[in-house]
Chains A and B, each alone.
Chain A
Amino acid sequence: MEKLIANFNYVIVVILMMIGLWSMLAQKNLIKKCIGMAIFQTGIILFFISIGAKDNALIPILTEAANHTYPVSDVSKVANPLTQILMLTAIVVGVATLGVALALAQKIYQQHSSFDEDEILENERK
C-alpha cells in the first residue's frame, strides 16, 4: 500500500491508458475514438515525464540565477532532460497523427454522413 501511494502517478498512468483503450474499443463514435487515442497518448507521455522527474530538482535550464555552477556539481538537482525531449517531439507528432485520424473520420462522414460505427457498417452492407 505504501508503495502504491509513493508511486501514485504510475497508477494514474495506467488508469488513463486504460480509459483511452476502453474508448478506442468500446465507443462507437469515431470522434470519441480519436479523443480516446489522444488520452492514451498523454498517459504514455505522463509516464515518461514521471520517470524523469527528480525529488527537489530544478528545471533543466542551467542559469547562474538558479545557483548552478558550471560545470554542474550535483546532477540530481536538475530534472532529466532526455525523457523530456523524447516527449516534446512526441506531442507534436501526436497532433499531426490526430489530424490524420480526423481527416479519415471526415472522409468517412462524407461517404456515410455518420460518425457512428454501426450505421457505417449498415451502409456498407447495403
Chain B
Amino acid sequence: MSTLPIWQFDVLLLILVVLFAVVALSIRNLMGAAVVFGAYSFMMCLIWAGMGAVDVAFTEAAVGAGVSTVFVVSTLYNTGATVQPRTGGLAFKLFIGVVVTIAGAFLLSALPDFPEWGASDSPVNAKVAPYYILNTIADSHVPNVVTSVLADYRGFDTLLETTVVFIACIAIYSILRVDKAKLEAGEPAAAPVPRYDPGDSLIVRQASRFMVPFMQLFALYVIAHGHYSPGGGFQGGVILGASLILLAISFDLKSLLRQWSEKTLMLLVAAGVFLYAAVGLACMFMGGNYLDYGFLDSILPGEQDMARSHGILLVEIGVGITVMFSMIAIHINLASNGRFDRGL
C-alpha cells in the first residue's frame, strides 16, 4: 500500500510511547513513575533519531532520559513522599477526560489539512530551510547544518534560550535556597533524614570514579566536534553536568561542593551567558552586526568563513559552561532542599 507511513518501525515506537505515557501517569509509586518517564524519554529519542533528527535525539537522551529523571528522583528522595495515596474524585477525572477528548477531537479534525508525514515539499520544508542546507558550507564551513543554524544563522534565538536556562537557575535559587544564619536560628524542622546513603556502596563509588573521566572527555569531544557530528554546547554541557551530578550522588554533596563552591557555580553559570553575549559585542566593535562572526576575521585565524566557524565554537563553549553549571546548581538545590549540606 503506497499510503502506508514511511517508517513502520516508528509506528511501533509511537504506540509504545503512548503506552509508557499512560503507565507513567497511572502508577501510584512515584519513584516508579519517574523511572517509566525516563524510559518514555528514551523511546522518544529513538523516534527522533529515526526521523533524522540526530541532534535532538542526542539532547533528549542526555536531558530527558538522564538529567530530568534525576531531578524528579531527587525531589522525591528529599520529601520522602514516594507513594501517591489513593484519592477519590473519579467523577471529576472522568469529566476532565471528556473535556480533553473533545479538545483532542477538535485538533484531530484539522488533520486532513496537514501535509503528509515526510512530504519534502510542505511549506515548512520548502521555504527557508533549503537556504541553510545550500549555504552552510560556503558561509561557515560547518557540515552539521544544525550547529550552523543554532549558533550562526539563528544565534539570537540560542542566546536567549541560554538566558532562559540561566534565569531558571536563579529562580530555583530564590525559591529553595535557605540562608545559613536563619538555619542556625531555628528554621522549621529539617526534611526527613534520608534512609539510604548511596555513598556507602563500594561498587557504586568505584564504578563512578572510573566512569567520570571518560564521561568528561566524551563531553569535551561533543562540544569541540559539534561542527562535524551531532552534538554541541547543549549536549556536551549536559553530559559534563551529569558527570559531576554522578559524583555528587555516589560520594556526597560535600565533596562536590569542596571542588566547586556555591559562589563559583553561580559565577560560572553567569560567565557562560556573558561569553556568548561578549562574542556578539566583539562583532559590533569590529564593525559588524551583533553576533555577525564574520567580522571577527582579523582576530580569529582564517578568512571570513573560518572566522564564522570559530565564532560558533566560542559561542558553543559559552552555552556549554552555562548549561553544565546550571544543571549542577539545580540538582544541588533540589537534592539538598536548598540547604547545600547533604542530599541524594
Contact = CB atoms under 8 A, between A and B. Distances in A.
Interface residue SS majority, chain A: helix
Contacts of A82: 124, 128-129, 132, 149
Contacts of A76: 120-121, 125
Contacts of A18: 100-101, 103-104, 107
A42 B64 contact: yes
B154 interface: yes
Interface of B: 3-6, 10-11, 14-15, 17-18, 21-22, 24-25, 30, 33-34, 37, 40-41, 44, 47-48, 51-56, 59-60, 63-64, 67-68, 71-72, 75-76, 78-79, 81, 84-85, 87, 89, 92-93, 96-97, 99-101, 103-104, 107-108, 111-112, 114-122, 124-125, 128-130, 132-138, 143-146, 149-150, 154, 157-158, 161, 164-165, 168-169, 171-172, 175-176, 188, 191, 228-230, 234, 238, 323, 326-327, 330, 333-334, 337
A91 B14 contact: no
Given A16-B21, A78-B145, A89-B157, A25 B96 contact: yes
A35 B149 CA distance: 30
B87 A116 contact: yes
Interface in A34-68: 34-36, 38-39, 42, 45-46, 49-63
Given A18-B100, A60-B146, A81-B145, 20 more contacts: A3-B111, A12-B18, A14-B104, A22-B96, A32-B25, A42-B64, A53-B117, A56-B118, A63-B228, A71-B138, A79-B52, A82-B129, A84-B146, A85-B150, A88-B146, A96-B326, A99-B168, A103-B172, A106-B78, A106-B176
A89 B67 contact: no
B41 A42 contact: yes
Contacts, number: 310
Contacts of A87: 53, 56
Nearest to A18: B104
> In which size bucket is the chain A interface?
35 or more
Contacts of B129: 52, 75, 80-83
Contacts of A106: 75, 78-79, 176, 334, 337
A123 interface: no
B334 A99 contact: yes
A5 B4 contact: yes
A50 B128 contact: no
A70 B144 CA distance: 13
A81 B153 CA distance: 12
B120 A55 contact: yes
30 contacts: A5-B4, A7-B116, A9-B10, A15-B104, A16-B17, A17-B104, A21-B100, A22-B100, A32-B30, A35-B33, A36-B25, A42-B64, A50-B117, A51-B125, A52-B129, A60-B144, A61-B143, A62-B143, A76-B125, A78-B133, A80-B129, A82-B149, A84-B146, A89-B157, A94-B68, A95-B68, A96-B169, A102-B75, A106-B75, A109-B81
Instruction: Identify which of A49, A56, A105 gathers the most chain B CB atoms within 10 Å of its CB.
Output: A49
Instruction: Identify which of B22, B59, B135 gathers the most chain A CB atoms within 10 Å of its CB.
Output: B59
